[in-house]
């Protein structure tokens, strides 16, 4: 059996997509299934941590021993995460948050016409950026980076800009990595520039690796 090496630790995890409504029947979302974040939450709880999982809409079973807060939009996730940030020792942000939302949400179903139709979008708050500003010395902040190009370069920029301890970058173009698969192929980059390329592995195994590293940094 796995030892309870995270006993007493408080871990906040985000998972899944956000859903940004257009009208009562339509929304904008992305391909996140929630599997990566749920794997982190499940493993953290199995290792004895107190876990709060802030989850966008997914079809996954609730992991045992995890407190789940369900949200739909990026703004709802922002509020839920900020409400629990001070509580947390470690924050792991696996969610795929929509960067934009429709500027206007129609109360009624939008009727089709003969012409083309466009939707104006408004920037959503960057949750991770806000956490980076508020982070205390005794907190570890872990981001993800979902990229299709210049992975290392973009991931390094995010570490600095968002004041992260480390980032887990996954290449969405690789088979067996990123959205929806049970496996992932990740590169872990920390704020000191240390880079670890991981083989393709189960998301649950990657979750343990992420938790191992967060635990070491927390204890430093």
The catalytic residues are 30
State the binding string over 122-161 for ligand PMT (x if CB under 6 A, else -): --x-xxx--------------xxxx-----------x---
Counting Cα atoms < 13 Å in the Cβ hemisphere of 91 gives: 28
- Distance between CA atoms of 208 and 110, rounded to whole angstroms? 46
- Distance between CA atoms of 91 and 99, rounded to whole angstroms? 20
Comparing CB distances to ligand PMT, the nearer of 6 and 185 is 185
What is the DSSP secondary structure assignment for residue 96, as one 8-state letter?
A: B
The residue from 178, 188, 207, 208 that contacts ligand PMT (CB under 6 A) is 178
**CA dist 204 to 64, 132, 135, 163, 213, Å?**
14, 26, 27, 26, 15
Comparing CB distances to ligand PMT, the nearer of 49 and 146 is 146
State the binding string over 67-106 for ligand PMT (x if CB under 6 A, else -): -------x------------------xxxxx-x-------
Shortest approach of ligand PMT to residue 153 CB, angstroms? 13
Shortest approach of ligand PMT to residue 25 CB, angstroms? 24
The residue from 11, 36, 151, 159 that contacts ligand PMT (CB under 6 A) is 36
Residue 201 burial (C-beta neighbours within 10 Å; 0-12, 13-18, 19+): middle
- Distance between CA atoms of 59 and 57, rounded to whole angstroms? 7
Annotated binding site for CTP: 99, 109, 125-128, 144, 158, 162
């Amino acid at each position: 059996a796995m030892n309870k090496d995270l006993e007493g630790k408080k871990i906040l995890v985000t998972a899944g997509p956000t859903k940004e409504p257009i009208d009562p029947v339509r929304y904008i979302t992305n391909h996140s299934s929630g599997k990566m974040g749920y794997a982190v939450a499940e493993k953290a709880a199995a290792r004895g941590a107190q876990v709060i999982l802030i989850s966008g809409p997914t079809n996954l079973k609730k992991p045992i021993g995890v407190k789940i807060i369900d949200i739909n939009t990026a703004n709802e996730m922002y509020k839920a995460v900020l409400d629990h940030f001070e509580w947390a020792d470690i924050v792991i942000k696996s969610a795929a948050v929509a960067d934009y939302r429709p500027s206007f949400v129609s109360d009624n179903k939008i009727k089709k016409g003969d012409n083309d139709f466009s939707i104006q979008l408004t920037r959503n708050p960057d949750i991770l950026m806000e956490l980076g500003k508020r982070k205390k010395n005794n907190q570890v902040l872990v981001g993800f980076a979902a990229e299709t190009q210049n992975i290392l370069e973009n991931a390094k920029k995010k570490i600095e800009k968002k004041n992260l301890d480390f980032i887990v970058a996954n290449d969405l173009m690789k088979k067996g990595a990123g959205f929806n698969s049970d496996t992932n192929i990740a590169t872990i980059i920390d704020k000191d520039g240390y880079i670890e390329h991981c083989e393709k592995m189960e998301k649950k195994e990657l979750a343990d690796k992420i938790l191992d590293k967060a635990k070491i940094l927390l204890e430093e």
